[in-house]
Amino acid sequence: MLITPEHQALQDKYQQLLLRSMQFDAIIKQKDEVIQQLKNEITPLKNAVEQLIAEVKLQREENASLLNIIKEKDKRLQKLELIEYQYQQLTKLVYSRSSERSSVIMPGQLQLGINADIVEVCNINDGQKVESYTKLKSEKKKHPGRNEIPTHIERKYIDMYPDNLPQDAEHFDTIETEQLEYDPARLFATVYRRFKYKRSTPNGSTEFFIASLPEEKDKSLAAPSLKAHVTTEKFLWHMPIHRQMQKFAQSGIILSENTIGDWINGTCRSLTAIYDALRENIIKPACGYMMADETVCLEATLKRLYAVRSMVADPP
């Protein structure tokens, strides 16, 4: 039977596939043997680990028992030291002299230069009388009383009349008792309602009319008053941003740190014109040389005043 080259190539490929299949079977068999060997080794290792865990647990229990014994020993030593100290004090109280004088001089101990024998025979009647003196007590300053409430504070008057006032009673005086109140700051929303109108023109088109927003209104959620409050709290009263976030959260307004930071940055940028004007009027005439002073002013409301001026010659 004649074998064509195509059949010979197919037969060679079949032989190669058969040989590769036998190799794969040998590899799989070897892998199974290795897996079985590892499984057989796992059990002794697991038993060894459990034994080590048990030994560690036993060692910890022994350590805890030893620590308790050491603590008990320390307590007994402290008790023995206390008993020994009390015994020494009792022996000293029973057998020692009342003068507590010791003839033993410790090396390096400083001497006071007091003759104990002379002190013991000293008679109290031989003492000299010291002239008496009078201690002057300083007069107590009268309390200045409570500070008055400033006049610029708004007053709300509550009129109170006596109960069961007779009809013929005549008013002759009014006593005012002031008490400082506090109205907590409140948040409110300003709603710009812009009404839209339309009309038809003769040419058939429709015209629409709507009011424009104020110039100071931007896309921000906060109004200028709220931005100014946040900036003042941050730089004047040193209120951190995270605490301001907590105060807003108490009112149900959840704000992020980046949002409040953007408000403060925008407020500071709006003050650039004032900064440039001050720089133009102070630094430029001074030719780069300025004088600054910080002083205490008791007359002013602020505790400290800061003054900055330029070195410009006084006008003639």
- pLDDT per residue over 291-308, tens digit each? 777 776 665 555 666 676
Q: Which domain holds residue 253?
A: 221-270
Out of 19, 49, 69, a domain closes at 69
Residue 249 lies in a domain: yes
The phi, psi pair for 291, rounded to 5°, reads -120, 135
Greatest distance between any 2 Cα atoms in the chain: 157
Residue 241 lies in a domain: yes
Mean pLDDT, rounded, for 100-118: 57
The phi, psi pair for 294, rounded to 5°, reads -125, 120
Q: Is the pLDDT of residue 244 over 90?
A: yes
Neighbours of 114 (CB within 10 A): 7
Cα 255-260-266 angle, rounded to 5 deg: 145
Q: Is the pLDDT of residue 247 over 80?
A: yes
Mean pLDDT, rounded, for 225-246: 94
The contacts of residue 256 (CB under 8 Å, 6+ apart) are 245
The answer to whether residues 296 and 274 touch, using CB atoms and an 8 Å cutoff, is no
Residue 177 lies in a domain: no
- SS3 at position 230: helix
CA distance 220 to 272: 20
Query: How much is the mean pLDDT over the chain?
Result: 82
Mean pLDDT, rounded, for 198-218: 85
Instruction: Please give the pLDDT value at position 115.
Output: 56
Confidence of residue 262 (pLDDT cuts 50, 70, 90): very high
CA distance 149 to 129: 59
Out of 270, 293, 309, a domain closes at 270
Neighbours of 241 (CB within 10 A): 19
Highest mean pLDDT among 31-40, 61-70, 87-96, 126-135: 61-70
Q: Is the pLDDT of residue 316 over 50?
A: no
Residue 254 lies in a domain: yes
Neighbours of 261 (CB within 10 A): 13
Tokens 């709507």 belong to which residue? 210
Instruction: Please give the pLDDT value at position 20.
Output: 86
Out of 248, 270, 292, a domain closes at 270
Nearest to 267 by CA among 221, 207, 214, 226: 226
Residue 104 lies in a domain: no
Neighbours of 264 (CB within 10 A): 17
Instruction: Please give the pLDDT value at position 101.
Output: 47
Q: Of the ranges 139-153, 182-196, 198-212, which one carries the lowest mean pLDDT score?
A: 139-153
CA distance 214 to 153: 32
The β-bridge partners of 208 are 198
Q: Is the pLDDT of residue 119 over 70?
A: no
Q: Is the pLDDT of residue 174 over 50?
A: yes
DSSP label of 204: S
CA distance 232 to 239: 9
Q: Is the pLDDT of residue 315 over 50?
A: no
The β-bridge partners of 291 are 309
Torsion of CA 160, 161, 162, 165, to 10 degrees: -170
- SS3 at position 19: helix
Instruction: Please give the pLDDT value at position 46.
Output: 87
Neighbours of 290 (CB within 10 A): 13
Torsion sign over Cα 94, 95, 98, 100:
negative
Residue 41 lies in a domain: yes
Nearest to 101 by CA among 115, 86, 90, 116: 116
Domain count, the chain: 2
- Pairing between strand 290-296 and 304-310? antiparallel
The phi, psi pair for 200, rounded to 5°, reads -95, 135
